[in-house]
Amino acid sequence: MSELRKYEINTSQYELYKQMHEKQTLDYVMKKRLQYSKLNNTKMSIKEVLSRMDNFIDPSDPDLDVPNSIHAYQTAERIRKKYPQDKEYQIIGLIHDLGKILFEFGEENWSVVGDTYVAGCEYPKSIVYYDTLKGSPDFDKYTKIGIYEIGCGLDKLNITFGHDEYLFQVLKGNDNHNISQKYLDIIRYHSFYPWHTGGDYYQFMNEKDKTTLKNINEFNSFDLYSKEDPIEITEEVKAYYDKLLDEYFKGDLSW
Ligand code: FE
Ligand code: FE
């Protein structure tokens, strides 16, 4: 476990975070949210998007060197092992990273992947590669509360834009699926490490967020360790999820 999530300087991860930290200002985050909430990029089924993850390896994750579709099935399979009856939870394992389709819309990696944090308030030290935040025009601009209010709830925060927020917007904005709010929140905040693992931003939490925190901490135990736990993805496994996706999604979604 201690081998995982080790970040060093002068690696591709470092470069990604340096760019993210300099460019994901409050202004940028608000613009990207508005742009993508329109869902006017394309219409695709959830299966089509999943299959497009075959050729994509996450550049931000130091622990992952398999295509994202394999990561999707492996995460789902770990959930199925523990919760064989909970189909919705399994589906979330499968789809949680599909927001990475943002790459196909021309977004750069610092706007798609990596740990997220809040724009519009002070940056806590728990943010990975904290020092590169000093290159942001927003550095030292805000207090610990910033433009927000104590207890306002995470949903009110402008969290850096990426695959979490994007897939949340897609699922929120399409009604031809039956994924419930609990799972939408897991998707939305799963990369929010300074909060769910770093213990920061608690000043903004409301009652709902306490439940989300518990849910995400459990979800993350299924999400991370693909290299160490090589689950085989057979045709039977793929067929199982194919059927499951048919139960939860109907037709194309607007992306
Ligand atoms: Fe992710
Ligand atoms: Fe993941």
Q: What is the pLDDT of residues 161-187, one digit of tens each?
A: 999 999 999 999 999 999 999 999 999
Report the separation in Å between the CA atom of 97 and the middle of ligand 2, taken as the mean of its atom positions.
Answer: 5
Give pLDDT tens digits for 126-167: 999 999 999 999 999 999 999 999 999 999 999 999 999 999
Token pair belonging to 47: 């299966």
Token pair belonging to 69: 């579709």
**pLDDT of amino acid 6:** 67
Q: Residue 74 and residue 68: Cα distance in Å, rounded? A: 10
pTM score:
0.94
Report the separation in Å between the CA atom of 134 and the middle of ligand 2, taken as the mean of its atom positions.
Answer: 28
Could you tell me how many helices (H) and strands (E) the chain has, helices first?
10, 4
**pLDDT of amino acid 129:** 95
Residue spans of the domains in the chain: they are 18-248
Q: Which ligand is nearest to the CA of 226?
A: 2
Asked if 169 contacts 155 with a C-beta cutoff of 8 angstroms, the reply is no
Report the separation in Å between the CA atom of 186 and the middle of ligand 2, taken as the mean of its atom positions.
Answer: 11
Report the separation in Å between the CA atom of 4 and the middle of ligand 1, taken as the mean of its atom positions.
Answer: 15
Report the separation in Å between the CA atom of 3 and the middle of ligand 1, taken as the mean of its atom positions.
Answer: 19
Instruction: Report the percentage of the chain scoring pLDDT > 90.
Output: 84
Q: Residue 47 and residue 69: Cα distance in Å, rounded? A: 11
**pLDDT of amino acid 2:** 41
**pLDDT of amino acid 59:** 67
Q: How many CB atoms lie within 10 A of CB 55?
A: 9
Report the separation in Å between the CA atom of 69 and the middle of ligand 1, taken as the mean of its atom positions.
Answer: 12
Give pLDDT tens digits for 35-45: 999 999 999 99
Q: Which ligand is nearest to the CA of 163?
A: 1
Q: How confident is the model at residue 1 (pLDDT cuts 50, 70, 90)?
A: very low
Give pLDDT tens digits for 176-215: 999 999 999 999 999 999 999 999 999 999 999 999 999 9
Q: Which ligand is nearest to the CA of 192?
A: 1
Report the separation in Å between the CA atom of 72 and the middle of ligand 2, taken as the mean of its atom positions.
Answer: 7
Q: How far apart are the first and last CA of the chain?
A: 36
pLDDT, mean over the chain: 93
Report the separation in Å between the CA atom of 201 and the middle of ligand 1, taken as the mean of its atom positions.
Answer: 20
Is residue 87 over pLDDT 50? yes
Q: Which ligand is nearest to the CA of 79?
A: 2
Report the separation in Å between the CA atom of 137 and the middle of ligand 2, taken as the mean of its atom positions.
Answer: 30
Lowest mean pLDDT among 9-18, 58-67, 213-222: 58-67
Is residue 80 over pLDDT 70? yes
Average pLDDT over residues 230-235: 88
Average pLDDT over residues 8-16: 86
Report the separation in Å between the CA atom of 41 and the middle of ligand 1, taken as the mean of its atom positions.
Answer: 21
Residue with more model confidence, 224 or 177: 177
Report the separation in Å between the CA atom of 203 and the middle of ligand 1, taken as the mean of its atom positions.
Answer: 24
Report the separation in Å between the CA atom of 179 and the middle of ligand 1, taken as the mean of its atom positions.
Answer: 17
Report the separation in Å between the CA atom of 41 and the middle of ligand 2, taken as the mean of its atom positions.
Answer: 23
**pLDDT of amino acid 64:** 62
CA 49, 94, 189, 11 dihedral sign is negative
Q: Which ligand is nearest to the CA of 64?
A: 2
Report the separation in Å between the CA atom of 97 and the middle of ligand 1, taken as the mean of its atom positions.
Answer: 5
Q: Which ligand is nearest to the CA of 191?
A: 1
